[in-house]
Amino acid sequence: MIHDKLALLGCICVLGVSSGCATGGVSLRPDGTPKAQECPAEARKAMHYLQLFVGKSAWVHLDANQILAKPIILYDGPIESMLDEDIGLLEAPARLYGEVWTGGLQPVIRYYAAHPLTGGERIPICAVARLGLGQLRKRPESKPGTAILDSPRAGVDIVDEFR
């Protein structure tokens, strides 16, 4: 446990990352969903230190402001999610910061930064929110720029690029 905390602290100190997200310049498809995007080298390095390897996953509360709400409404733009369980060296309830696009049949949620609640600064990551069996699909009554979802939770998967 002490080793894990030292590794996390070391990662934060070595990287000295800013608190901004790396969402600028994302190209969009005609339906408003984002095109493929590379995971920055800085994020890949941070994820290695945090033992956040491709395929690792955990549960996340999609919107930290709507944890117990059913259904929830997501809007195009920034999102703050909350880890519901540990992933790698990130301990729940760390915050995940990213971007939501609601243009398709289901929202696309990409995470670009994590902020451990043990202190320090935001750490760059690459992760996506997912649910199988179409469970992340928007309700038909969702208005443009929004996604009404039945579940306030989803899986968060570590990725090495966004597709």
pLDDT tens, position by position, 136-153: 999 999 999 999 999 999
133 pLDDT higher than 50: yes
Show the tokens assigned to 63: 């919107």
Give mean pLDDT, residues 129-136. 90
Note the pLDDT tens digit of each residue in 88-105. 999 999 999 999 999 999
pLDDT confidence tier of residue 4, bands split at 50, 70 and 90: low
Distance of CA 102 to the CA centre of its chain: 15
| Domain count across the chain | 1
Phi and psi torsions of 70, nearest 5°: -145, 120
What pTM does this model have?
0.85
Residue 13: name the closest of 97, 120, 104, 98 by CA. 120
What is d(CA 124, CA 113) in angstroms, rounded to the nearest whole number?
Answer: 4
How far from 88 is each of 9, 36, 49, CA to CA, in Å?
Answer: 14, 25, 9
pLDDT of the residue at 24:
60
Please tell me the predicted confidence (pLDDT) of residue 34.
95
Angstrom distance (rounded) from CA 37 to CA 66: 28
57-61 and 153-158 strand pairing: antiparallel
Whether the per-residue pLDDT at 14 is higher than 70: the answer is no
**CATH code at 114?**
2.40.128
Q: Which structural domain range is residue 57 located in?
A: 2-162
Give the percent of the chain with pLDDT over 90.
78
